[in-house]
A and B are shown apart, each in its own frame.
Chain A
Amino acid sequence: MIAVALHIAAGAVALALAMNVWRLLRGPALGDRIVALDTMVINAIAMIVLIGMIGGTDIYFEAALLLAMVGFVSTIAFCKFVLRGDIVE
């Protein structure tokens, strides 16, 4: 039962990633692209967690945690760059 649910969940997350790519390429505003990238990072974390559950290992946890931190910092840096023209003032 869990194996089937895991594969359904992985398919749903993959579909969500494809939708995010569509919004990333389509735009139209710059804000939309930032939101799409931020959502793609969160969906990638979900995918890593699902892969860890499918493989039955715990070693993907650090990758997911690091990706969460790097994704947040990159979103904030991108927004700061658009707002102020500079990241560290």
Chain B
Amino acid sequence: MNVVAEVIVTALLLLGAGFVLIGSWGLVRLPTTMERLHGPTKATTLGLGALLLASVTCFYARFGMGTAHELLISLFLFITAPISANMIAKVHLHRVRIGAIAEPDSIAGAPPRPSDDADWATFEAPRRHTPSSTANT
């Protein structure tokens, strides 16, 4: 394996490991649930992306196998991470609303209301005459 490939793989490995560690450190360190969502969903996903790129580069440089199938995992995670984060945030909003959780003081403060006369979409019944609403049928 030549020196350039070795340097690239090493840099990607250290970058990815650092971001994975930062994501979990954020999960431990941040004060409220909504803030704790930030660490894993962004930093950890980026770190895993860097590790998978390192894997692609390493196998290409070592064996000459020019496959990119590790990028499938990366693509899948980049698609699914926002969806999981959205679902977890919805769970948390509902648990706060029914009073199952007392929120501690946070850095950013309580989330603002979306507008004066409307609430978050997850609390409302489906509305008619919007394109993908389940109330249209």
Known interface pairs A39-B44, A68-B77. Does A30 touch B95 (Cβ–Cβ under 8 Å)? yes
Q: Is the CB of A65 within 8 A of B24?
A: no
Contact of A35 among B17, B40, B69 (CB under 8 A): B40
Interface residue B128 (Cβ < 8 Å from any Cβ of A): no
Known interface pairs A8-B17, A12-B21, A69-B76. Does A58 touch B65 (Cβ–Cβ under 8 Å)? yes
- Interface residues in A26-54 by Cβ distance below 8 A to B read 28-32, 34-36, 38-39, 42-43, 45-46, 49-50, 52-53
Q: Is the CB of A83 within 8 A of B48?
A: no
Q: Is the CB of B36 within 8 A of A32?
A: yes
Q: Report how many residues on chain A are interfacial, defined by Cβ distance under 8 Å.
A: 47
Residue among B27, B58, B67, B100 with the most chain A CB within 10 A? B27
Known interface pairs A2-B10, A53-B55. Does A39 touch B33 (Cβ–Cβ under 8 Å)? no
Q: Is the CB of A61 within 8 A of B77?
A: no
Rounded to whole Å, the gap between the CB of B70 and the closest CB of chain A is 7
Q: Is the CB of B101 within 8 A of A29?
A: yes
Contacts of B83 in A (CB 8 A): 72, 76
Q: Is the CB of A9 within 8 A of B33?
A: no
Contact of B76 among A2, A56, A68, A79 (CB under 8 A): A68
Nearest B residue (CB) for A39: B40
Contacts of B28 in A (CB 8 A): 19, 22-23
Contact of B23 among A39, A52, A58, A61 (CB under 8 A): A39
Leading 10 A-B pairs by shortest Cβ distance: A16-B24, A9-B17, A79-B87, A12-B17, A31-B92, A39-B40, A19-B24, A72-B80, A5-B10, A5-B13
24 contacts between A and B (CB under 8 A): A1-B6, A1-B7, A2-B9, A5-B9, A8-B13, A9-B51, A17-B24, A19-B27, A20-B27, A28-B101, A30-B101, A35-B27, A38-B40, A38-B88, A39-B24, A42-B48, A46-B47, A58-B59, A65-B72, A72-B76, A79-B91, A82-B94, A83-B90, A83-B91
